[in-house]
Amino acid sequence: MRTTSGPPGFGPSAPGLGGRVRAVFLVGFMGAGKTSVGMALAGRLGWRFEDLDQRIQAREKRTIEQIFRQSGEAEFRRLEQEALRELLSSLGTSPRVVALGGGAFVQPENSALLESTGLPTVFLDASPEELYRRCRQESVERPLRKEEAEFQRLYQARRPHYLKAAVRVETGGKTVEAVAAELAGTLGLP
């Protein structure tokens, strides 16, 4: 995994990707900035932005919180994998930046599926204290955000999975625009 230099094969004319990167997948814990950085990166590149959780909510016609409460986490993970497969099959020639939910990349089936595409995955990281602070400032309901000690335990349990992403970018103390610019440079995208 790289943090400052571009990974081999991920530039705009990368071999084995039909000559062009057609998607970038952002992974990381809740509060890492996947949605805000994803929107900024997509805007910078002139690409489409997609949030996998929003796709799931549109398909199910209920919020993530409602899915967790009414159907449980196992059912949510099944729906998440279905949505990811559907998204991957719809990539075509329209490039996009995709934000995955905090637990999506942790699921072995999802990370293997993404790895098989050869498309770049990026771990947006920050300290668990900063992530918790960001989450507390949001009005978004997060089903797995608990008290701080449990939040940190979940972060520590998931972090080894996130570290399997092709690239890691530290977001702590940086603006959304600075992270998007760093990420574009690291991936060799315009």
- Give the model's pLDDT for residue 146: 66
Beta strands in 47-151 (DSSP E): 48-51, 96-99, 121-125
Instruction: Indicate the pTM of the whole model.
Output: 0.85
CATH of domain 23-187: 3.40.50.300
pLDDT in tens, the chain (190 residues): 444 333 333 333 332 333 467 899 999 998 899 999 999 999 999 999 999 999 999 999 999 889 989 999 899 999 999 999 999 998 877 899 999 999 999 999 999 999 999 999 999 999 999 998 888 776 555 544 567 788 889 999 999 999 999 999 999 999 999 999 999 999 988 7
20 class by beta-carbon count within 10 Å (0-12 exposed, 13-18 middle, 19+ buried): exposed
Compute the distance between CA of residue 96 and CA of residue 94 in angstroms, rounded to an integer: 7
Which contiguous run of DSSP H or E holds residue 64? helix 64-71
- Give the model's pLDDT for residue 44: 95
Query: Checking DSSP bridges between strand 23-27 and strand 96-99, what pairing results, if any?
Result: parallel
Tell me how many degrees the CA angle 160-118-121 measures, rounded to the nearest 5.
40
